[in-house]
Amino acid sequence: MDPTMDPALAEAWLRALAAAVEQHQQQLTDLDSAIGDGDHGSNLRRGFTAVLAALDTLAPDTVGAVLTKAGTTLISKVGGASGPLYGSAFRAMGAALPEATAEPADLARALAAGLAAVQKLGGAQPGDKTIVDAYTPALRAFEQAVEEGSDLAGAAAIAAIGAERGMRATRPMEARKGRASYLGPRSIGHQDPGATSTALLFRALSDVTGP
C-alpha cells in the first residue's frame, strides 16, 4: 500500500463510508430511535448520497479538496446534528491538507483538526455519550501508531479498533449532550448512534488503506 493518501484514496474512503452508512442505516436508525429523534441513519444516508453525487463531478488535485467538498455537501444537505458535525469535521480535515498527497503524520493532524471542529460545534467532551467518545480513542490510537512508525494502513487499522471500543463504551454512559441528554438516566444501556457512525468512518478508512 502506498504510504501516502492521494485524492483517489480520499475519494475511496468517502465511497466506502457511504456504502457502510447504506448498509448500517437501519442499525443507526434503531439506535437513534431509542435515545434520539430516530433520523440518524436516514440523515446520513441522504448526506452521503449527495456526497457521492458531488464526487462524481469533482476533479480534485488535493486530498483537502475531496474532504472539503464532502464536508460542505454534508452541511448543506443533512438536517439534525449529524450534518453540521460531520460536515465541520471533514471541512476541518480538508483545510489541514492543502497538498496533493498526505503522509500519515499529515492525516493525523487533519483528524485532530476534525475532532476539534466537532467539539467546538457540539461542546462535547469524552464521557458525554457522543461522536467524541469514538473519535477520541480512534485519534489517539492513530497518532500513537504514527509516532511509533506505523504506515497508513497500520495506523488506520488500530484507529478503527479504538473507535469500535469507544463506541461500545458509550453503552453504560448517561448522555450529557444532544437529544439523548433529555432522557437522563434512561439513556444508560443504549449505544450512542453518533459514536456508531464514527466507528463506521474509521473502519472505512482502514478498509481502503489495508492490503
By residue range, what is the domain housing residue 94? 7-209
Has residue 203 been placed in a domain?
yes
CATH number of residue 180's parent domain? 1.25.40.340
Q: What pLDDT digit, counting tens, does each position of 174-207 carry?
A: 899 887 887 888 889 999 999 999 999 999 999 9
Has residue 197 been placed in a domain?
yes
**Residue 160: other Cβ atoms inside 10 A:** 24
Has residue 2 been placed in a domain?
no
Q: What pLDDT digit, counting tens, does each position of 28-87 carry?
A: 999 999 988 889 999 999 999 999 999 999 989 999 999 999 999 999 998 778 899 999
pTM over 0.75: yes
- Cβ distance 68 to 102 under 8 Å? no
| DSSP-assigned beta bridge partners for residue 102 | 5
Q: What is the DSSP string of the chain?
A: --SSB-HHHHHHHHHHHHHHHHHTHHHHHHHHHHHS-S-HHHHHHHHHHHHHHHHHT---SSHHHHHHHHHHHHHHH--TTHHHHHHHHHHHHHHT--SSSB-HHHHHHHHHHHHHHHHHHH---TTSSSTHHHHHHHHHHHHHHHHTT--HHHHHHHHHHHHHHHHHHTTTPPP-SSGGGGGGGGGTTS--HHHHHHHHHHHHHHHHH--
How many structural domains is the chain composed of?
1
